[in-house]
Amino acid sequence: MVVNNDLITWSDKFSSGVKLIDDQHKELVELVNEMFNHVTGNDLQEHNYFNRVINDAVSYVKKHFTTEEKLMIATKFDGYAEHKKEHETFILAVVENIKDYEAGKRLTLSTFTRFLKDWVLSHIALMDKKYFEYFKKVATRKADGKLSINSEDIRNASV
């Protein structure tokens, strides 16, 4: 069995404590791992795979960003503008990388996936972490022990 050391292992250190966000982050991690699992070194195979999945992957990333941004607005998180800018910069970088990859320039599936991995991990660790504690304050612990943010929490947000 080939062991791919580039795969991301989900860890509690990535956890925001808010189920909706954690589920989406886990999905992003899965998405990156799935791409790594399709790095074969065969250009044609990799391009076919890439063409099949890239639109859905970008849509999922955008959906996640929208979720976070809506929660930030609803809870009046003061890091919203800075965070949104980071998201926008990332999407522009992804689009550029996709164009390059499709044009056969520089990138391989491996380098493209590494770029995604590095960004996702550093963004969660540095940017997303800034709202983790804040969201927890406005979240409610549910009967199942999970934290979630509902419309009442949002109405009661004090900042």
Interface residues with ligand FEO (CB under 6 A) are 25, 64-65, 68, 83, 87, 123-124, 127-128
Tokens of 121: 């991990």
- Closest residue by beta carbon to ligand FEO: 128
CB of 11: closest distance to ligand FEO in angstroms?
15
Select 83 or 117, whichever has its Cβ closest to ligand FEO.
Answer: 83
Dist. CA 118–CA 104, nearest whole Å: 22
Closer residue to ligand FEO in complex, CB, 130/141: 130
Instruction: For ligand FEO, give the closer residue by CB, 57 or 124.
Output: 124
Q: How far apart (Å, rounded) are the C-alpha atoms in residues 99 and 65?
A: 21
Q: d(Cα 114, Cα 112) in Å, to the nearest integer? A: 5
Listed in sequence order, the DSSP H helices in the chain are 19-36, 43-74, 80-102, 109-122, 129-138, 151-156
| Comparison of 68 and 153: residue with beta carbon closer to ligand FEO | 68
- For ligand FEO, the closer CB: 64 or 117: 64
The two structure tokens encoding residue 107 = 């990138």
* Closest approach of ligand FEO to the CB of residue 105, in Å: 27
| Shortest distance in whole angstroms from residue 46 CB to ligand FEO | 26
Of 152, 142, 146, 153, the closest CA to residue 17 belongs to 146
Q: 159: helix, coil or strand? A: coil
- Cα end-to-end span (Å), the chain: 52
